[in-house]
Amino acid sequence: EAQVTQNPRYLITVTGKKLTVTCSQNMNHEYMSWYRQDPGLGLRQIYYSMNVEVTDKGDVPEGYKVSRKEKRNFPLILESPSPNQTSLYFCASTFKGGGNYGYTFGSGTRLTVV
Amino acid sequence: KQEVTQIPAALSVPEGENLVLNCSFTDSAIYNLQWFRQDPGKGLTSLLLIQSSQREQTSGRLNASLDKSSGRSTLYIAASQPGDSATYLCAVRYNQGGKLIFGQGTELSVKP
């Protein structure tokens, strides 16, 4: 089944403890993105990648890192999480070419930082 | 600034009604537009995608239209059912490698 897989689904952590949220897609998509969703603020892009070893900042990149060493994987790294990073996180991917391709989203990771 | 707005923010209808959800965008030079459904605390499920060159797309009881000149898209749901209750999100993509710009969503409740 074609899908974007995120892990973990739920995570509670303490301030300052480094964590990684994994994202993997099996559709051979070039583009991958991370979004966070917050009440009243909607969905905002954190980082994106247009291909292997090519990443760039989105609208809210502060406090996050990403890497794209393989085409299928795009992990989100929080080196020193803070309570304001408590949010619902989504990974998404799509093909490079053609306006007839839409984004496919993962099931989400609910992160709580205490 | 590229912005996407959805009206209404919430909508409650009795089962069986036909309904329309609205999405407007400030920049008409879009690449494509997607409608998503999101159940509480869950992921986003893509419902329909409309390319820039298209006027509408249909899937079952859903029909999405696009009018770039007026900067608007509508999602029409026919014969609504309680299972349609969810938040519906409109998202616009402005270029090939571009991010999705989301509206705030319309929370739909269909009463039995």
Provide the 3-class DSSP secondary structure of residue A83. Answer: helix
Contact: A43, B102; criterion CB under 8 Å: yes
**Mean pLDDT value across residues A66-88:** 97
pLDDT tens, N- to C-terminus, chain B (112 residues): 889 999 999 999 999 999 999 999 998 889 999 999 999 888 999 999 999 999 999 999 999 999 999 999 999 999 999 999 999 999 999 877 778 999 999 999 999 9
Give yes or no for a contact between A71 and A57, defined as CB atoms under 8 angstroms apart: no
**Mean pLDDT value across residues A55-64:** 96
Decide if pLDDT at A8 tops 90.
yes
Per-residue model confidence (pLDDT) at position B41: 84
Per-residue model confidence (pLDDT) at position B85: 98
Provide the 3-class DSSP secondary structure of residue B82. Answer: helix
Question: Residue B2 and residue B60: Cα distance in Å, rounded?
Answer: 31
Decide if pLDDT at A36 tops 90.
yes
The contacts of residue B26 (CB under 8 Å, 6+ apart) are B1, B2, B3, B4, B71
Q: Measured on CA atoms in the order A26, B49, A91, B11, is the torsion positive or negative?
A: negative
Residues of B (45-104) whose Cβ lies below 8 Å from A? 45-46, 49, 51-53, 89, 91, 93, 96-97, 99-100, 102-104
Q: Which residues of A touch B (CB under 8 A)?
A: 31, 33, 35, 42-43, 45, 48, 50, 58-59, 88, 90, 92, 96-97, 99-108, 110
How far, rounded to the nearest angstrom, does the alpha carbon of residue A99 sit from its chain's CA centroid?
22
